[in-house]
Amino acid sequence: MRRGASRPDTPQRADAAARPCAPRHRRTELALFLRRWLAHPLRIGAIAPSAPALARAMAEAARTDLTNGNLVVELGPGTGSVTRALVAAGVPEERLVLVERDRHLHAWLEGQFPRANVLLSDARQLDEILPVGQAGRVSTVVSSLPLNSLPRSERDEIVRAAFRVLSDDGSLVQYTYGVPSPLPCEALGLTGRRVAFAAANLPPATVWRFSRAPADRPAHPSARNPD
Ligand SMILES: C[S@@+](CC[C@H](N)C(=O)[O-])C[C@H]1O[C@@H](n2cnc3c(N)ncnc32)[C@H](O)[C@@H]1O
């Protein structure tokens, strides 16, 4: 299921991911996205891939300081528009873990980002599927998941799994089409902040960044995994 985890880091080559999509490639991507939306509208949760303005805003909101071998995890990358923006913003493909549940989109992502670790899995299992030793070394989880159309229990499981793998000062970046926060901060022990608004997206979207509320931060790294 997991690919590429053991490959050594190589200097960033943003070529494939950062170059603008050729029109034919873009059409193929849109057609794939539409087919997957027709098959599972609620799971896909958007009628089109994120527009470049939203993808850039998500990438800018992500902490991309990857010292100490930290990683960036993306949940629900779809056809990879946010992924491309992350690479263009300087995240080496080798430091990206992409978690996509749809096998057609997973296969597409493997072709688009051959040096990333592309996992065919459910975001709820994030802490179980990360390569050994990488939990706690994730600086940002970037989520394009349709959190508002998921059952509350599933949404909460995903958020908890994300914060189990994030470093102590790590954050979760999520967009929403609504006005209020896409997450109930108090109930989940988080603080949330609106960090960007992308008007040039269909529909316009707001980007939020969530961190552990101060009382929820483990006093010591070992507190994350008491075992
Ligand atoms: C809104 S789409 C992603 C859009 C993407 N950012 C883009 O611009 O192309 C949401 C994605 O989340 C995936 N997804 C939904 N629930 C998931 C889950 N529990 N685990 C992993 N992926 C999931 C869907 O298959 C879909 O690809």
Domains and CATH numbers, the chain: 18-216 (3.40.50.150)
Other beta carbons within 10 angstroms of residue 10's beta carbon come to 10
pLDDT value at position 74? Answer: 98
**pLDDT mean across residues, the chain:** 86
Task: Supply the residue whose CA is at minimum distance from atom 15 of ligand 1.
Answer: 43
Give residue 170 CA to ligand 1 midpoint distance, Å.
Answer: 21
pLDDT value at position 12? Answer: 41
Question: In the structure, what pLDDT confidence band is assigned to residue 7 with cuts at 50, 70 and 90?
Answer: very low
Give residue 44 CA to ligand 1 midpoint distance, Å.
Answer: 5
Q: Report whether 177 contacts 204 (CB < 8 A).
A: yes
Q: What is the arithmetic mean of pLDDT over 62-82?
A: 88
C-alpha distance across the termini of the chain, in Å: 26
In this predicted structure, the answer to whether residue 111 has a pLDDT above a threshold of 80 is yes
Burial of 171 (C-beta count, 10 Å sphere; 0-12/13-18/19+)? buried
In this predicted structure, the answer to whether residue 37 has a pLDDT above a threshold of 60 is yes
- Given ligand 1 and candidates 25, 44, 142, 157, which is best to mutate, with the most ligand atoms within 8 Å of its CB? 44
| Nearest ligand 1 atom to alpha carbon 150 | 16
pLDDT value at position 27? Answer: 85
pLDDT value at position 18? Answer: 45
Q: What is the arithmetic mean of pLDDT over 30-42?
A: 87
| Nearest ligand 1 atom to alpha carbon 58 | 6
pLDDT value at position 216? Answer: 58
Q: Report whether 106 contacts 100 (CB < 8 A).
A: yes
**Rounded distance, CA 53 to CA 210, Å?**
20
Tell me the pLDDT tens digit for each residue of 150-208.
999 999 999 999 999 999 999 999 999 999 999 999 999 999 999 999 999 989 999 99
**Rounded distance, CA 166 to CA 99, Å?**
15
pLDDT value at position 177? Answer: 92
Least confident span in 14-28, 82-96, 169-183: 14-28
Give residue 42 CA to ligand 1 midpoint distance, Å.
Answer: 10
Give residue 28 CA to ligand 1 midpoint distance, Å.
Answer: 18
